[in-house]
């Protein structure tokens, strides 16, 4: 069974540009969440989607957005990139709505460098 797949794995963007990252969850999983990991702030929750609806959102500016498609695949977008957006962006998927009792599976992440 394939795991959580994220594309692209590595990318370099220039300040002011925008970027779209893609995530394919494990087959059958309907919940997809996104996290940002930086050396200074650690792992921080961005948002979670379930059945195409955003259910939870972390404390990030509006430049960070996401969506989920009917096949549960998800994308996140960061507009007007800043140097501080350089990070590892992780996608995670889970079977159901509540993680209590569920297992959350992470992808290997997309490494974004903003120059």
Partner 1 sequence: DAKTTQPNSMESNEEEPVHLPCNHSTISGTDYIHWYRQLPSQGPEYVIHGLTSNVNNRMASLAIAEDRKSSTLILHRATLRDAAVYYCILIITGNMLTFGGGTRLMVKP
Beta carbon of residue 96, minimum distance to partner 1 (angstroms, whole number): 8
| Per-residue tokens: 109 | 């992440």
Residues in region 28-57 near partner 1 by CB under 8 A: 31, 33, 35, 42-45, 48, 50, 55-56
Contacts of 82 (CB under 8 A, 6+ apart): 15, 114
Burial of residue 99, with CB atoms counted within 10 A of its CB: 0-12 exposed, 13-18 middle, 19 or more buried: middle
Beta carbon of residue 23, minimum distance to partner 1 (angstroms, whole number): 11
Residues that bind partner 1 (CB under 8 A): 4, 31, 33, 35, 42-45, 48, 50, 55-56, 58, 90, 92, 94, 97-109
């Amino acid at each position: 069974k394939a795991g959580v797949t994220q594309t692209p794995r590595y990318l370099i963007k220039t300040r002011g540009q925008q970027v779209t990252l893609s995530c394919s969850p494990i087959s059958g999983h309907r919940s997809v969440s996104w996290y940002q990991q930086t050396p200074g702030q650690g792992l921080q929750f961005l948002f979670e989607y379930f059945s195409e609806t955003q259910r939870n959102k972390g404390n990030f500016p509006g430049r960070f957005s996401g969506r989920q498609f009917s096949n549960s695949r998800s994308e996140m977008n960061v507009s007007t990139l800043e140097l501080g957006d350089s990070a590892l962006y992780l996608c995670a998927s889970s079977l159901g709505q509540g993680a209590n009792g569920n297992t959350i599976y992470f992808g290997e992440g997309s490494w974004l460098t903003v120059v």
